[in-house]
Amino acid sequence: MDLAGLAHLGRELHRRYDEFGPLLVFDDGNKRYLSFGTADEQSCQLKSAPTVLQHEYARAMAAVLIQFPDTAPPQQITLLGTGAGTLATALHQQLPASQIQAVDVRAAVFLLAHQYFALPRTPSITTHTADAGAFLRNSEPGQCDLLICDLYLADGLDPLVLQADFLQACARHLSERGWLVLNLWKEHREQSDCLNVLKTLFPQLLHSTTHDGNWVIWASRESRQISRSDARARCKQLAPQCGYNLWNASKGFYRHA
């Protein structure tokens, strides 16, 4: 493999292969990265603060927590697409009483997440090596309060995410108060089929395009919306737990509210 395009990620710590291709871990002294062999890293973790999310799109996904009141945080969380486990780690730090199911089709990502990215070994986080669609089909419906879908292959978004039957399975997986979060690319804004399906499934739909080129969607069956001012106040309340400006990660969703 030609690693010339990955030199900016620092020193290679680990390399392995599975049926889907390479998995590589890099370290630049300050941050640690997981790569699937392409120039864009799959995950990034600040070594001095491993629970502080680094990517703008990851912060936008996690910011959906402002939709849950203090008195009723999400109890059951499902993550489809685990990467290095940085989101699972951050959510566990913020919501230690919640049960997190981390799902990935590549068993090796869990090994690397534990070994190099400090994914906690705790009964609160259950890992599943499974195809995301199969996992949803085999799960009991209506039990999940927060479902975050971040399914990417080495060459881009897993096309499964844009399929109507997958989005319907996501909706079935959620509780009545549940929220779905999808991480797409900004190019997918032009694909109206996805939005049209989501609108038939969820009365509340918020979306934001990040500076790094991702299009993040929040969707819920709940029709109750918190106002922009209430959202900003909620961000101020939760920001100390996150370690970054939560309103900067959230305000884009309220441009389209």
Q: Kindly tell me if the per-residue pLDDT of 257 is higher than 60.
A: no
Q: Domains along the chain?
A: 4-46 (no CATH), 56-254 (3.40.50.150)
User: What pLDDT sits at residue 222?
Assistant: 86
User: Where residue 256 falls among pLDDT bands split at 50, 70, 90?
Assistant: low
Over residues 112-131, mean pLDDT: 97
Q: Among 54-68, 80-94, 185-199, which stretch is predicted with the lowest mean pLDDT? A: 185-199
Length of the chain: 257
235: pLDDT strictly greater than 90: yes
> What tens digit of pLDDT does each residue of 158-206 get?
999 999 999 999 999 999 999 999 999 988 877 778 889 999 999 999 9
Answer yes or no: is pLDDT of 130 > 70. yes
Q: Write out pLDDT tens, residues 25-50.
A: 999 999 999 999 887 789 999 999 99
pTM, 2 dp: 0.95
The rounded mean pLDDT for the chain is 93
Q: Would the CA dihedral through 42, 45, 50, 52 be positive or negative? A: negative
Strand 76-80 relative to strand 144-149: parallel, antiparallel, unpaired? parallel
pLDDT of residue 155: 83
Residue 65 has pLDDT above 70, yes or no: yes
- Pairing of β 99-104 and β 125-129: parallel
